[in-house]
Amino acid sequence: MSEIREIQVPDIGDFKDLPVIEVLVKPGDTVAVDDPLLTLESDKASMDVPSSEAGVVVSVNIKEGDRLSQGSLILTLQVAVDTLPAAQPAASSFVETQAESGAREVVQPPLIGAVKPATVAPANASARAPHASPSVRSYARKLGVDVSRVQATGKGGRMLREDVERFVKDALVRLHSPGQPAGHSGRLDLLPWPEVDFARFGQIEKVALSRIKKISGANLSRNWVMIPHVTNNEEVDITELEAFRQQLNQEGGKEAVKYTLLAFLIKAAVATLKAFPAFNSSLGDEEGEPILIVKQYYHIGFAADTPNGLVVPVIRDVDQKGIAQIVSECAELARKARDGKLGPADMSGGTFTVSSLGGIGGTGFNPIINAPEVAILGVTRAQIRPCWDGQAFAPRLILPLALSWDHRVVDGAAAARFLQHLAGLLADFRRITL
């Protein structure tokens, strides 16, 4: 027994009227649950829309160039009712690139495809306009790049932001020409990437990168190259805070919420962002002039470890929530990340990110800023150290902090004051009520 069912665009967060850049099925095709049906593109990401049902495609109701929103009809599907699997939230298979969200990317993201090195095409190589979205064209204009000279490597000849960035990098390398001494006028003199046959030296194993790493790798490379990173380090005495945290957990019993240091860090970070609003901003432009967009909301991302790589879920309106609610939302988002059920709305809109490795170890690291944010806080494991109290050495729990910041927006003095303010709150959490 079978019936005809309509498949619609599921919840895709705040996105509306997204253009269809590729239709992946046709009438007569057999699809399974979570098979991609089409690809949408926003100014933040390319995303595959998966099927929420299994069956045979009867009719396709969309074509390339159409604009879709949540609830738009995609196709009709002949579904076997007696063997119908339970519907799954289709939004869980989406992923945003970290170009805008922070996301830093997610379990079960769509495979956008391996990016090939961009090459320069002659300006008159083709009279046809390149297939680039408005956001990519705007990005190219900001960098002074003629899109007709960029080789597109995306699906169906679609131009990616990564193609524009690689064009710029190649242009920087080509600035160095014979007859000019290297190292002058800001020119780069880079050797080509080494190509090595590693099997010549011993046994090897080829392991495919996870989808998360394929997507996030390009974003991290862009962020590291395009943002002038500087990292400030600080240490804070959290002896009293840790005692308070343990006391709360003991009072709550086994069934109560378990307070984590991350929740206190997130809450203290928001109080510090209110005192230093430039760190809660993003760079933008208005009529070709750079501006600073200072946000009046506080959506904090946190790095969550999953079997397939790191993802960055976002807790919204942290300034309006208590520690217990932050703990609960962190646990729920981390669970969704491990299960591969984070949707675009779970990873978008972040204004600041906390990346904590305290549960793993380490004494410090330089976190990469999650564009378009302008700063990120890195935290490693707290350790007991002997500290001088004016009369004797006493054991104290010391937490290392690392703040990476965008030098185009803030400077070293502001970063130092930011960390001092944050450290003061963590050392005496009562100050957060002031």
Side-chain half-sphere CA neighbours of 420 within 13 A: 6
Give the phi and the psi of residue 82 in degrees, each rounded to 5: -70, -20
Q: What sign results for the dihedral spanned by CA atoms 209, 211, 213, 214?
A: positive
Count of residues making up the chain: 434
Do the beta carbons of residue 68 and residue 20 sit within 8 Å?
Answer: yes
Do the beta carbons of residue 154 and residue 136 sit within 8 Å?
Answer: no
Which residues are the active-site residues?
A: 407
Radius of gyration, alpha carbons of the chain: 25
Please give the DSSP secondary-structure letter assigned to residue 391. S
Do the beta carbons of residue 109 and residue 212 sit within 8 Å?
Answer: yes
| Collapsed DSSP state (helix, strand, coil) of residue 154 | coil
Neighbours of 301 (CB within 10 A): 28
| Collapsed DSSP state (helix, strand, coil) of residue 32 | coil
Give Cα separations from 167 to 6, 124, 143, 364 (angstroms). Answer: 43, 17, 10, 34
For 207, the token pair is: 């392991």
∠ Cα 10 15 19 (to 5°): 85
For 240, the token pair is: 């009293």
User: Residue 418 and residue 277: Cα distance in Å, rounded?
Assistant: 10
Q: Match 């002896």 to its residue by tokens.
A: 239
User: Residue 200 and residue 42: Cα distance in Å, rounded?
Assistant: 44
The H or E element spanning position 56 is strand 55-60
Neighbours of 175 (CB within 10 A): 12
Do the beta carbons of residue 244 and residue 261 sit within 8 Å?
Answer: no
User: Residue 216 and residue 222: Cα distance in Å, rounded?
Assistant: 10
User: Residue 254 and residue 191: Cα distance in Å, rounded?
Assistant: 59
